Amino acid sequence: MERVESALTAITEMAADELESWELSAMRDPRNWVRPAAAVVVGSAAGGALLVLRARRRAQPQGRASLAGRSAALERSAEQALRDLAKQTRKLLPRR
């Protein structure tokens, strides 16, 4: 599971680097849209898969838990995944 997580993280970072390297002036020509569009799709898919993977790992019960306990654990896991997403987004986006 750690290998998958590290691979997804690397893919997400590569997609962000690809998007960061493009200049807006080059985007006027539609022939230049393929690579950034692919980076958005691949980066979003990898980022989403990474969030799901982390949420499932956090939500795994530590033994037999009640339905309410598992539901609460899943809710906490989803909240943490959203906080992680916000943190990673702040890292990738430039400050304005």
Over residues 4-13, the pLDDT tens digits come to 888 888 888 8
Domain tally, the chain: 1
pTM of the model: 0.56
* Per-residue confidence band for 65, with pLDDT thresholds at 50, 70 and 90: low
Say whether pLDDT at 64 is over 70.
Answer: no
**Range(s) of the domain holding residue 41:** 2-92
Using a 10 angstrom Cβ sphere, with 0-12 exposed, 13-18 middle and 19 or more buried, the burial of residue 15 is buried
User: How distant is the alpha carbon of residue 74 from its chain centre?
Assistant: 18
Say whether pLDDT at 33 is over 60.
Answer: yes
For 24, the enclosing helix (H) or strand (E) is none
Q: Mean pLDDT, to the nearest integer, of 72-96? A: 73
User: CA–CA separation, 36 vs 43, rounded Å?
Assistant: 10
Report in angstroms the alpha-carbon separations of 39 from 19, 31, 34. Answer: 7, 15, 9
